[in-house]
Amino acid sequence: MSWRDLLEIAALVVLLAVTVPPLGRYIAAVYGSRADGTAPGDRVFLPVERALYRAMRIDHRREQRWNAYAMSLLAFSLVSLLGLYALLRLQGALPFNPTDRESVSPTGAFNIAVSFVTNTNWQWYSGEVAMSHLTQMFGLAVQNFVSAGVGFAVVIAIVRGITRTHDRSRSLGNFWVDLTRGTLRILLPMSFLFALVLVSQGVVQNLGGGTSVDLVDPAAAEVVGTDTQTIPGGPVASQIAIKDLGTNGGGFYNANSAHPFENPNGLTNLLAMWSLLALPFALVVAFGILIGDRRQARLLGSVMVGMLVVMSAWTVMAETNGNPRLTELGVDQSVSSLQGGGNMEGKEVRFGTTSCAVYAAATTGTSNGSVNCMHDSFTPLGGMAPMLSMMFGEVSPGGIGVGLMGLLVNALLAVFIAGLMIGRTPEYLGKKIQAAEMKLVTLYILAMPAALLGFAAVSMTLDSANTFQPGPHGLSEVLYNYASAANNNGSAFAYQGTGTDWYTVTQGIAMLIGRFGLIIPALAIAGSLAGKPVVPTTSGTLPTHTPLFGALIAGVVVVASGLTFFPALALGPVLEHLSI
């Protein structure tokens, strides 16, 4: 690891430490105030919100029970899915299509629509080749905003369920208000400013079809048969800003953040990593403020940071140590003034192995999925680390809203297990955790592994689902791709071809399960907790703000995933590592 790598990591830590606390306070102020005023920025945002409520005939003062909240969320997602599907199918006949992109196939359009509505942003296609500007702007970028807004709404509803005492109505707020506030007051302003920064650094932002330029190397003209090249243009910066801030991940170009038009230099790379992590960590700060106990937030934040540091260090060590097969052949993989060192296969020479590894841990620790290098080119153990980050449920720190949601569910499981061990009624933040909540927690924990392992097992047995590579790495590719789909991540072991009908349909189903199969039980848990009184703290109450409880939460996350996925991992990346 070079001094430049250490400087980049230090800059990222400082940037997060400076920006996360004020962002968290702002989020808490946005959602902790009344819907009719007293929130920061009311002079600008409140008239716009009221106009939207009138247009959509929403009574913003009326709260919803958890089931009504969930139905509103599902209805909004269904309409979004159908609208985006129609846009993709009609793309070839619609305007703002300067490069004459054709309409997308039925199964491909289904996969894309599900992918962006569920905040997965999986891309089996090349964005600059397959999508029109209208689809990129009005379809994909819009879903980047509102799918992240849904994540905001869900976690705020869960926080209300925890904090409300003996609410017979079991109301969790108003979904439409929460969605509107998160989108208008947080995501739009931050994305606008971030897009301006990206444009200043050279990220493309125009409505042109492309720019024709002369080839840099004249000798290449003899190979390709022409002395010019068309550089694809489009509304790139505006989409990249929200793809990172919203933990979405769908890039404008096929190479994603490894492409110099999306990620031109070290500064944009640093800001991209910051933007993946800032809002998920800020939500933890907001959680502590909203529940009135910042010790709980510090504990959950520490668990997230600890897991992120471990996975980052794991990936860095695996990739900087290089490929042992090349070492046996006498290849020098050390850091020098001429090379970044380590396993440079699939890496951007502008960023090197360390930056790639930290980015990989950040993008899979959240539900982002954007990449600045190719994960399929990692060493076996290096590729296993981001795969595990997804299999842990992406709680370090997770995507916007859903990451904190996942850690809170694991905290409920941890406190229930601890309660059984000491013979006391489990309690979390003064609410008793009983059989009803545990049944819902069980549904939550089983949904993602069932989708991941079920479809992966079938894919390995079907000739029509060819993995393109034999042996353990082929299994790793299948596991990674379904882990990405079922956890709404979007990154890929990209050597595997997933544009077939089998993968576009089954991965679309896995995305739906990974999104709504988790959100609905979590909202039901929140509704159940909202109807319970707060139990006074006694000498027998398990403290949930101590390092011991933090270790218990981390242990629950790791053990649950280990028991579920270790057999498959042993036949995939572990076996591949032992074979080299």
pLDDT digits 0-9 by tens, 369-425 = 999 999 999 999 999 999 999 999 999 999 999 999 999 999 999 999 998 888 777
Least confident of 122-131, 327-336, 426-435, 508-517: 327-336
Mapped onto helix, strand or coil, the DSSP state of residue 485 is helix
Count of positions (residues) in the chain:
580
Q: How confident is the model at residue 541 (pLDDT cuts 50, 70, 90)?
A: confident
- Residue 448, pLDDT > 80, answer yes
Mean pLDDT score, 532-556: 89
Q: How high does pLDDT run on average in the chain?
A: 92
Inter-axis angle of helices 501-530 and 471-486, nearest 10: 40
Cβ neighbors of 328 (< 8 A, separation 6 or more) are none
Q: How confident is the model at residue 340 (pLDDT cuts 50, 70, 90)?
A: confident
- Residue 306: burial class (beta carbons within 10 Å; 0-12, 13-18, 19+): middle
How far is it, in rounded angstroms, from Cα 271 to Cα 263?
A: 10
Number of neighbours of residue 39 by Cβ within 10 angstroms: 19
How far is it, in rounded angstroms, from Cα 145 to Cα 249?
A: 12
Q: How confident is the model at residue 34 (pLDDT cuts 50, 70, 90)?
A: low
Per-residue DSSP letters for 88-135? HHTGGGSSS-TT-PPPPPHHHHHHHHHHHHTT----SS-HHHH--HHI
Structure tokens at 199: 């444009």
Pick from 64, 274, 101, 17: nearest CA to 178? 64
- Residue 306, pLDDT > 90, answer yes
Q: How confident is the model at residue 37 (pLDDT cuts 50, 70, 90)?
A: low
How far is it, in rounded angstroms, from Cα 333 to Cα 269?
A: 23
> CA 341, 345, 347, 353 torsion: positive or negative?
negative
**Which amino acid does the sequence have at 464?**
S
- Residue 351, pLDDT > 70, answer yes
460 touches 467 (CB < 8 A): yes
Pick from 333, 163, 190, 346: nearest CA to 274? 190
Pick from 150, 110, 127: nearest CA to 246? 150
Position 31 scores a pLDDT of: 93
- Residue 35, pLDDT > 60, answer no
Cβ neighbors of 361 (< 8 A, separation 6 or more) are 308, 311, 312, 314, 315, 385, 386, 389
372 touches 359 (CB < 8 A): yes
Q: Position of tokens 């089996």?
A: 124
- Residue 497, pLDDT > 80, answer no
415 touches 550 (CB < 8 A): no
Percent of the chain past pLDDT 70, that is, above it, reads 98
The partner residues of 229 in beta bridges, in order of sequence, read 213
Element (H, E) at 228: strand 228-232
Pick from 309, 191, 166, 286: nearest CA to 243? 191
**Which amino acid does the sequence have at 502?**
W
Mean pLDDT score, 490-506: 87
Structure tokens at 325: 């097969």
Number of neighbours of residue 62 by Cβ within 10 angstroms: 12
Position 462 scores a pLDDT of: 85
**285-304 tens-digit pLDDT:** 999 999 999 999 999 999 99
Mapped onto helix, strand or coil, the DSSP state of residue 212 is strand
**254-274 tens-digit pLDDT:** 899 999 999 999 999 999 999
Q: How confident is the model at residue 461 (pLDDT cuts 50, 70, 90)?
A: confident
The terminus-to-terminus CA distance of the chain in angstroms comes to 23
- Residue 333, pLDDT > 80, answer yes
More confident residue, 529 or 334: 529
Element (H, E) at 534: none
How far is it, in rounded angstroms, from Cα 110 to Cα 85?
A: 6
401 touches 518 (CB < 8 A): no
**223-237 tens-digit pLDDT:** 777 888 888 899 999
Mapped onto helix, strand or coil, the DSSP state of residue 77 is helix
- Residue 38, pLDDT > 70, answer yes
**Which amino acid does the sequence have at 214?**
D
Least confident of 166-180, 261-275, 433-447, 458-472: 458-472
Q: Position of tokens 């997602």?
A: 77
How far is it, in rounded angstroms, from Cα 414 to Cα 128?
A: 46
**165-195 tens-digit pLDDT:** 766 668 899 999 999 999 999 999 999 999 9
More confident residue, 176 or 39: 176
